[in-house]
Chain A
Amino acid sequence: MRKISNRALIIIFLGLLAVSAVWILIAANIEQDELTAEIYVDGRLMYTLDLSKVTEEYTIELPHNTVLVGEGEISMLSADCPDQLCVRQGVIRNGIQPIICLPNRVEIRIVKDSGIDAVTGGRS
């Protein structure tokens, strides 16, 4: 097999690094008009919320986590998991990246709403 030079490898990896960085920057700043947040526990949809209609911050208590719902944003306020990654993640404002609490199997994600008027606190 043809030998690959060290320099070629460095270029490839730096390129990959750059692409990933650009992807992250673009993804974090995408503005979405419709902000419907869904909270899943154990893979089941527990709450659907319309973040654009939130006027005052409020919290949702889950068995092991507390979710903070704000105007156009949502975040994990607290959790009883050992790593606290979900809490340290901060707020999300668009549907690119979810907030995941892996140990407690909680997922918060923002979706592009398909037109249904989202209801707060709906259990399904």
Chain B
Amino acid sequence: MKSATSSSLRRLLSLNRPHAKKIALAAFFVLLVNGALLLQPYILKVVIDDFLTQHVAQQGLYSLPAMGILYFAVVVAAGFFSVAQVNLVNQIGQKIMRGLRTRVFRTIQLLPLKYLDRTSTGSLITRATNDVEALSDLYTDVLMSLFADAFLILGIIGAMLLIDVRLALVSLCVTPGMFAVIFLLRTKIKKNFQRVKRLIGRINGFLAENLSGMKLVQSFCAEKEKKAGFTGLNGEYFKSTLFQVRMNSVLRPLSDVFQNLTVALLLWYGMGRIGASTLEIGVLYAFTTYVKQFFSPVSDIADNYTTIQSAFVSADRIFELLDQAPTLEDLDAGLPLDRLRGDIEFRHVWFAYNDEDWVLKHVSFHVLPGETVAFVGETGAGKTTIISLVSAFYAAQKGEILVDGIPIGDIRKRDLRRNISVVLQDVFLFSETIGRNVSLNDEIDSEEIEDALKTSYAKVFVDFLPGGIDEPVMERGSTLSAGQRQLLSFARAIAHDPAVIVLDEATANIDTSTEGLIQKAIENVARDRTTLVIAHRLSTIRKADRIVVMRDGEVVETGDHESLMDRNGYYAEMVQGGESVGENPDDSPESSSGTRGAAAL
């Protein structure tokens, strides 16, 4: 962790390199602003000592009004430089963040499914959003203000030493103590604040769950128990906010206390020297101002300390993701193929998601262009895995997969995938219009979209939507039924006119009227193209040219429905055993689409 952070720091700093000149300029502005800040008490000292105490004769620029104007000019100049600096730093920071954000997004897009399967959706989203934002804060707020604060502290100490060494040392007596106390309190407050935030997050989660499950709570009369849970959480939150209040109640008046202490100390020490005329009153007064200026940078640094820590955690996470670069998919490598014929052959394919945990063993089959082949078998037989291999989402460990006679790994992935459309059970719809969900980002005109909707029978319900194909899909399609979503995903596949279609037939939660449409749609989809279908319905299976029966990762039987029934083997047993052939979708651990989709309880 420690070493990871230091390398992250190096990499973070390296992002600055292209902007070195601008950063140097910004740093220069910071110096100017701070210089101005230090000059202000000195001007006051001159006014008090030279004019008001010693009554030195005023002439020209060396006069009270001139000093006033100088003071004003210094403040205005400092303001000007500070505006310039803040804008400059933000421009640099935003540019860097834009680059980083795009890199993270691109990486996520091109990560192989193998990696995505192992990573939770939430953590990936955090990388591209909150983590980058944490770094952005680090850049635009923290780093420059840290630099400015450090410089200001040094500047104040330097200025005090320059004016009067002994008086400076006296003022600085209190500062280590002040430093320690403020730092301690600030970090404690920040840490507790994170706890408060965590608790409010849990309250949020508790509410979300209970509000959406309110019907259940009410039908089980569990209101009292749920209230007890909420009160517990809320009480814990209350306690940590009270701690927050108490800590802040100590911290807030502390700056006044330390200032007063230092001033008291200065007066006690200074009175002797003023009496002996070795110290001017103006100097003493300037020092009280310097002491005041001391407080805010110290407080800032302590405040930023935890921000920096969390930014480094974010940086570690971002770089860890970016380090996946060598494993990213290269969509453009390989043999370009404009149009596949749709000839798919598995030759003795062995595949495991991890190590030697074989999901497919010695699988061989050959699908000719235009054929429809059904895959049947129980949960975990390896059917879904075949889909993933055909689209080259994973590579087989042993054996060969040939598409149009070419090893699948040699074909340009972009071309391969554009030629093979996969329709999963768990249909994903984007928060776009119906039309755009069919066409995706590709140039498919509305006429073609309408055609695809007609062929897939999705038109039956799309026409009833107020906006037709321009109707937006709400909340990822939760307003549509499972069957309607499936029809839309057929339309999506048809609109892209693939040479090969691979589909995982939906089983559950489809009402009988839509079910009939789906049957007809599958026939339309399968027409004129190679079709691989993970089938659950006898009607679909009967229409297949061939059936590949799988068991425990192996192909145990192949043939058409009649010949397999005649054989009276495993297939016949399955058909007679239950009305639906194959596994139930929800119980299937291998439908990895499910592991991503079913994240919510």
Do A and B form a real pair? no
Residues on A lying within 8 angstroms of B by beta carbon are: none
